[in-house]
Amino acid sequence: MNKAQLVEAIADKLGGRQQAADAVDIVLDAIIRAVVSGERVSVTGFGSFEKVERPARYARNPQTGERVRVKKTSVPRFRAGQGFKDLVAGTKKLPKNDVAVKKAPKGSLSGGTSTKKATTKKAAAKKTVAKATTKKAAAKKTTAAKKATTAQKATAKKSTAKTAAKKTTAKKAPARRATATKAPAKKTAGRKTTAKKAPARRK
C-alpha cells in the first residue's frame, strides 16, 4: 500500500479524499519534525519513531569489495509496539468492527513512564552540566580578579619605592652643595695666610 492507497482507505471515514490526504500529510509531517529535532514519537499499540546516531565505521563496497570509511550519521528508526507485533504474529486477532490500534490510556500519550523517566533524566543531566559551567565561569572570574588585585598591589609597591627613592636623592643633594661651597672658603683662608707671611720674609 502506497500513500495514495492509504488516503483512499481512510477517505470514507474522514468524509472525503481531500480531508484524508490532508490528515495523512499532517500526521507524517508532525512525526518527521519531531524525530528530526531528536524527540521520540510513541503511539501505544503501534510503535515508536526515534532518531539514532551511528558512529563512524568501516564498510565494504558490495560491487568492488573495497573497504570504505563511513562518516558519523543519524538515521530514523521505527520500533513496532507489542500490540502491533502480536497482531502480525497472529497471537491476537484483528477486530472486525473496531480500530486495530485503540486510543491510548491516560498518561501514556507521551510514550509511557519509561519515556517520562528518560526525559527527566536528560533534564537533570542538562541542569548538572549548566551548574558545572557556571561554577567554572565563576572560578575563572575569581582568578582574574585575584590577578588584577595582585597586579595593582605590585604597581602600588613600585610607585611607593620610586617616591621613596626620589625623596632620598632630594635630601642628599643639598649636602653635596654645602661641601662645594665650603671648599672655596678653605682656599681663601690659605691665600690670606700666605699673603700675610710674605712681608716678613723681605725684612
For residues 51-88, b (16+ Cβ closer than 10 Å) or e, as one string? eeeeeeeeeeeeeeeeeeeeeeeeeeeeeebebbeebe
pLDDT of res. 158:
65
Taking residue 119's Cβ as centre, other Cβ atoms within 10 Å add up to 14
The one-letter code for the residue type at 22 is D
Q: Mean pLDDT per 10-residue run, the chain (203 residues)? A: 93 92 95 95 93 94 92 94 91 84 57 47 59 62 65 65 55 47 46 49 52
pLDDT of res. 130:
58
pLDDT of res. 189:
44
pLDDT of res. 97:
78
Task: Provide the residue ranges of all domains of the chain, joining segments of one domain with +.
Answer: 1-37, 45-97
Instruction: For domain 45-97, give its CATH number from 4.10.520.10, 2.40.30.10, 3.90.1300.10, 3.10.580.10.
Output: 4.10.520.10
